[in-house]
Amino acid sequence: MNAFLKIVYQPYKWLVVIPFVLFVTLLLGLICIVVGFVFSQNAADILAVTWSRLCCAIAPLRVIIRGKKNYNRHHAYVVVANHQSMADIPMIHGFIGLKIKWVMKKQLGEVPVFGPACHQLGCIFVDRANPGTAIKSIETAKGKLSKKSSVLFFAEGTRSRDGKVMPFKKGAFIFAMETGLPILPITVKNSFKILPPDSLDLTPGSVDIIVHHPIYVAAHEMDRLDEIMKNTRRTISSAL
């Protein structure tokens, strides 16, 4: 977006986009809490997909999914993705077609409406400052997941500040080995330009989400953990 259009976009962002996102988050969050409590996580997930698509549409953000043939929407995976901005969340959840449960920091679970809604969606909250507690949270979550639930990890643990892929943490890979679920590497490309970290400098545009071939791992391959992590990171980085 050129400088003139970016200036023109600012009133729309502040008067339309941000109020709309806040309103939709509040409304659908409240409905999600009720639906998840009365029915199921999968029923609530429909609302999360709706929220994601509405947020992308109002911005507007164009999401291009590449590699659709590399995964089956009816299967469960441990999704491992790079993390460039907060926009990654609605774009992935709204468009790749999997029933995703997010691994997120516990502070988000304390946000009014949003936190309880995420609980009803089956999201996994971890204390990043306490690795032992984080592992316990993930262990507890394993028994609550449906057979069609995919768990998404931003393997870097936080958003990249320069768009480059940072070193990966082990949690996603240990989880995959212990559950027997295949790892599904995903590259998020250009969301850093859409919404830089720690800012509200939102800019309309297109984001590519590249889905790579699944990586199958097993519990007995724990001695190959570092190698699998490096190969997965290399795969994700190669598409940037």
pLDDT, tens only, 131-145: 666 666 667 666 667
pTM of the model: 0.93
C-alpha span between 172 and 229 (Å, rounded): 9
Structure tokens at 73: 């929407």
Per-residue pLDDT band at 1 (split at 50, 70, 90): confident
List the chain domain ranges.
3-238
pLDDT at 62 over 80: yes
Task: Classify 108 in phi/psi space as left (phi over 0), alpha (psi -120 to 50) or beta.
Answer: alpha
Question: Residue 141's pLDDT is what?
Answer: 67
Give percent of the chain with pLDDT exceeding 70. 94
C-alpha span between 135 and 154 (Å, rounded): 15
The count of other CB atoms within 10 Å of the CB of residue 1 is 12
Nearest CA among 31, 154, 56, 57 for reference residue 100: 154
**CB pairs under 8 A, 24+ apart, for 8-14?**
9/203, 9/204, 13/200, 13/202
Backbone angles phi, psi at 7, to 5 degrees: -65, -45
What's the whole-number mean pLDDT along residues 66-76? 96
Q: Would you say how long the chain is, in residues?
A: 240
Answer whether CATH 3.40.50 is correct for domain 3-238: no
**Taking a C-beta distance cutoff of 8 angstroms, is the pair 65, 211 a contact?**
yes
C-alpha span between 156 and 76 (Å, rounded): 21
Tokens 């190969």 appear where? 231
